[in-house]
Amino acid sequence: MTVDSQWYSSLGSLRKKSGLISNTAIMTDLITVEGVNKSFPLPSGKGEFPVLSNVSLTVRLGEVVALLGRSGSGKSTLLRIMAGLISPSQGRVLSNGKPLRGANDDVAMVFQSFALLPWLTVKENVELGLDARGVGRDERAIKALRAIDLVGLDGFESAYPKELSGGMKQRVGFARAFVLEPQILFMDEPFSALDVLTSENLRGEIDDLWNAKTFPAKSILIVTHNIEEAVFLADRVIILGSNPGCIRGELAIDLPRPHERTDPRFKALVDYIYSIITNPEIEVTARVLAPVLASAYAKPLPHVRVGTISGLLELIVDQPEGTDDLPRLAESLKLAVDDLLPIVDAAILLGFATTSAGDIYLTPVGQDFATTTILRSKELFQQQALQNVPVLVSMVQTLQEKRSGSMRKDFFLDLWSEHVPAAETERQFATAVDWGRYAELFEYDASEERLYLPQEAAVE
Ligand SMILES: Nc1ncnc2c1ncn2[C@@H]1O[C@H](COP(=O)(O)OP(=O)(O)OP(=O)(O)O)[C@@H](O)[C@H]1O
Ligand SMILES: [Mg+2]
């Protein structure tokens, strides 16, 4: 089986920024951003400060999209451009296929800061947007009460904002947006000003409304820097880079709704996005497969050098019938059985040997490996490593995703550190390097602390 068929199948979730559409069918584009740049004048008056660079994205009918990026990556600026509140320096926004001019009537917005008018009651705050649209008094009242109901604020219609807790204020923020029945609801970090329990509660309610198909908007675009929140709520996560803000790539969250935090794939996606966000060097491409990447580092490698593995196999192959008894083998190697076992584990992991009732047997490929030329044994080792050792596959994938074909050691140590104690990350790395070098999967420059693809395999 090839690497591609074994590890690249079934798990595909990442789509390149430029384009593959969702696998759910052809969807209607509600809002499209095309090649948007935005700069603000510097306070000195000399020159400009670029905030967004060549941003293109689409939000389609019926989906929840999360825009995830660090503080200052231009998320709010992008949202304001899509809402028609400010204009881009270059590029354009299409709403329902038409170039956007002025405020976008298809959009309603929920802000982090609630943005309520303190001198108006809950009901009056909720009615504001309808008033601006010229909706008559009676209809305004009916719609406002319905929206207030929907967010669970029944009975607080005539309260003033100062009488409400943060969570209740944000419920008013939601009611004020819901009442407009927008095509798309924009939310700019709507839960981040709330305490943990309140935000958890409100986020869950919003998700429930969406899953129950009673949500008063057709699509949602949420801006957040909270990875878990993005994976919990969204069907698609668009990852922004910083300085200036740009789109690094996107990830489909192909989990059943509601997205359960206990689902191992949920955690794998969060881990993977975390590794992208904390490593600006990583190029997000369609070939990165989150679950492989995240789980590959969870299974520790036995700390055995390749030379030791081949030594063991050569000893066994010399025995009559290519088999040996483990205690006898330990004795002949002057090793305690406990010290022999990692070597045996490594041989089994690589598919060179199997054990049964205290005996070790070589597989046909193990026999071949033990008896062939050095060149052929390297080929066999590479083949077996790619088929049986996900972490090596993942390391190669990571290097292939980099135009330079190289990546620093720390990046890999970080991935291991999710699963093993700190001291062990170094040992895992050393073993992976020993195996990967022998298999000619990658090279390691110890002075630079960087892994490289072998020269001839580097991506042009
Ligand atoms: N009107 C403006 N004039 C000048 N600079 C601005 C203006 N609006 C935003 N910026 C700058 O643009 C950059 C991006 O700001 P923006 O608020 O869009 O980021 P963000 O990703 O929403 O950050 P946060 O997570 O902190 O909300 C920041 O450096 C900000 O100072
Ligand atoms: Mg912001």
3-state secondary structure of 355: strand
Pairing mode, if any, of strands 406-408 and 450-452? Answer: antiparallel
Nearest ligand (C-alpha, residue 48) = 1
Ligand 1: does its nearest atom lie under 6 Å from the Cβ of 60? no
The residues, ordered by sequence, that sit 6+ positions from 142 with a Cβ below 8 Å of its Cβ are none
Give the least confident one: 24-28, 131-135, 363-367: 24-28
Is the per-residue pLDDT at 297 higher than 70?
yes
- Reading the block at residue 277, the tokens are 């966000």
3-state secondary structure of 112: coil
Distance, CA 290 to ligand 1 centroid (Å)? 30
CB-CB neighbours of 192 under 10 Å: 14
Is the per-residue pLDDT at 8 higher than 50?
no
Could you tell me if 272 and 231 are in contact, meaning their C-beta atoms sit under 8 angstroms apart?
no
Which of 44, 75, 187 should be mutated for ligand 1, with most atoms under 8 A from CB? 75
**CATH fold of 14-287:** Rossmann fold (3.40.50)
432-439: average pLDDT: 96
Confidence band of 58 (pLDDT split at 50, 70, 90): very high
pLDDT digits (tens, 9 = 90+) for 264-276: 778 878 878 887 8
Ligand 1: does its nearest atom lie under 6 Å from the Cβ of 38? no
Confidence band of 295 (pLDDT split at 50, 70, 90): confident
The residues, ordered by sequence, that sit 6+ positions from 455 with a Cβ below 8 Å of its Cβ are none
CA distance 34 to 37: 9
pLDDT digits (tens, 9 = 90+) for 135-149: 999 999 999 999 999
Nearest ligand (C-alpha, residue 245) = 1
CA distance 300 to 303: 9
CA nearest ligand 1 atom 5, residue: 40
Where exactly does CATH 3.40.50.300 map onto the chain? 14-287
pLDDT digits (tens, 9 = 90+) for 149-200: 999 999 999 999 999 999 999 999 999 999 999 999 999 999 999 999 999 9
The alpha carbon of residue 424 and the mean position of all alpha carbons in its chain are separated, in whole angstroms, by 25
Ligand 1 atom index nearest CA of 71: 25
Confidence band of 368 (pLDDT split at 50, 70, 90): very high
pLDDT digits (tens, 9 = 90+) for 193-249: 999 999 999 999 999 999 999 999 999 999 999 999 999 999 999 999 999 999 998
CA distance 460 to 448: 22
Ligand 1: does its nearest atom lie under 6 Å from the Cβ of 50? no
Check residue 61 and give its pLDDT: 94
Distance, CA 68 to ligand 1 centroid (Å)? 14
Check residue 283 and give its pLDDT: 67
CB-CB neighbours of 328 under 10 Å: 12
Check residue 2 and give its pLDDT: 33
Ligand 1 atom index nearest CA of 240: 21
CA nearest ligand 1 atom 31, residue: 72
Distance, CA 112 to ligand 2 centroid (Å)? 8
3-state secondary structure of 443: strand
Could you tell me if 290 and 231 are in contact, meaning their C-beta atoms sit under 8 angstroms apart?
no
Check residue 459 and give its pLDDT: 43
Please give the mean pLDDT across all residues of the chain.
Answer: 87
pLDDT digits (tens, 9 = 90+) for 315-347: 888 887 777 788 888 888 888 878 888 999 999
Ligand 1: does its nearest atom lie under 6 Å from the Cβ of 192? no
Check residue 294 and give its pLDDT: 60
Closest CA to 353 of 365, 341, 338, 342: 365
pTM, two decimals, is 0.64
Is the per-residue pLDDT at 4 higher than 70?
no
The residues, ordered by sequence, that sit 6+ positions from 136 with a Cβ below 8 Å of its Cβ are none
Check residue 293 and give its pLDDT: 58
Residues with CB under 5 A from ligand 2 (ion): 75-76
CA dihedral 70, 72, 74, 77 (to 10 degrees): 130
Ligand 1: does its nearest atom lie under 6 Å from the Cβ of 69? yes
- Reading the block at residue 448, the tokens are 């630079």
CA distance 12 to 2: 16
Is the per-residue pLDDT at 19 higher than 80?
no
More confident position, 99 or 282: 99
Instruction: Please provide the size of the chain in residues.
Output: 460
